[in-house]
Each structure stands twice: as structure tokens, then as C-alpha cells.
Chains A and B, each alone.
Chain A
């Protein structure tokens, strides 16, 4: 079974540029999560989807971040414009459902904003 797929693995951009990350969860997983992880810290939830509905986006900086999961399968996370402080690893995870808690993580996208 394929795991959670993320692309790109690495991205280097200049500040004020836009950037997008893509995630394809494990087949059949209804719940999808986007996390941000800074070095030496735990993952911080940005947004959680149940199928195509964003059910928890309270931590998403909506002035510059947006996400979508149009068909309830794969998802994109966008930052526009990027700031220096956005440099981090962006992790996507999926689970069968909100009450089936084991989360499977993708390899992450390491973003560097110069």
C-alpha cells in the first residue's frame, strides 16, 4: 500500500513569492491534516479536513495561507506571499477518520524562504 505522498520534497523561494504544496493521502483515508513543524518542535496543526470539508482551520494564517481538498482526496496548501518566518517543514498526514486516530505522515516539504 502506498503511503502519503507529498511534493515537492524541498522548495527554496524568495520572500514575497507564492508557493504551493501537494499531498495525496492514503487511499480511503477521509481525514487529512496539514501541519507545520519547526526545527526541534512538535507538529502544529494548520488545517484538518473531513473529506472535502475543512473542519478545523483555526490555526491557519488566513491572510496568506489557503488550502483546498476539492474532491475529498488530494489537497494543496498555498502560501502567498511567503515570509521569512514561513521557513519550516510542512507535513501532510491522513487517517481513516477522526475517530480512528492513527495518523500516517508523508515525508514533508522543507520550505526555505530567502
Chain B
């Protein structure tokens, strides 16, 4: 069945270092969404990408959608303690509007 693979599972960084998480789908997506889940919290919507090759920025966060609409990435520049949490991608197909979620990448700031 359709899968969205997300890597890495964890990323440990020093505060101020960059962070990147990647998602790859086995099939073409109509759009991809990104969510952030703080420890003990629930997923919170960050952004949706729809167009092939689309790049969107939110302050220190940069989101990209691949040309083939099968992969996406989230890059955080100069991480801060407030960035701690798990970042999920979720891809959607046109055919049934179902969201397929990645397993998430947990951002951990080293003490």
C-alpha cells in the first residue's frame, strides 16, 4: 500500500545548529502537509504544499515539495529550544483525500 517514509527518526542537535527532516512517498501526492507535535501535546498544522517544486518559508523554517511531488523536506535554521518536538509530514492523494502520515522526526536539543 501507499507509504510515506520519513527520516531520520531522531535528530540530536546543539542549540543553534540546523535541523532537516525528509519525507518520501511511494506514489505521487496531490499535496503534503507538515505538523509539529510538542512533547505531551497534539499535532499542530504548520503548512501545506501543493505545487511541484514549491518552497515556502516561515521565519526559520523552510519547506520544500519535490518536482515529482513525491518528496518533501523541512529545514530549520539555527534551532532554538522552542523548536523541540516531533515533526510529521502527511501526504494526500487526490483519489480518496486520505492523509498518509510519516512516522515523524523527533528534534532533540542537546543540553
- Interface residues, chain A, with chain B CB atoms under 8 Å away: 40-45, 48, 56, 91, 93, 98-99, 101-108
Interface centre among A42, A43, A102 (most CB of B within 10 A): A42
- State which of A41, A43, A56, A102 has its C-beta within 8 Å of the C-beta of B96: A56
Produce 1/0 per residue, B86-111, CB < 8 A to A.
00101010001111011110100000
Q: How many A-B residue pairs have CB under 8 A?
A: 47
Pair B31/A42 contact, Cβ less than 8 Å: no
Contact size range, B: 20 to 34
A-B contact pairs, 21 of them (CB 8 A): A40-B106, A41-B104, A42-B6, A42-B101, A42-B103, A43-B88, A45-B98, A48-B98, A56-B98, A91-B43, A98-B97, A99-B97, A101-B31, A101-B92, A102-B33, A102-B45, A103-B33, A103-B43, A105-B42, A105-B44, A106-B42
For residue B42, which residue of chain A has the nearest CB?
Answer: A105
Bound form: Cα–Cα A43–B104 in Å: 10
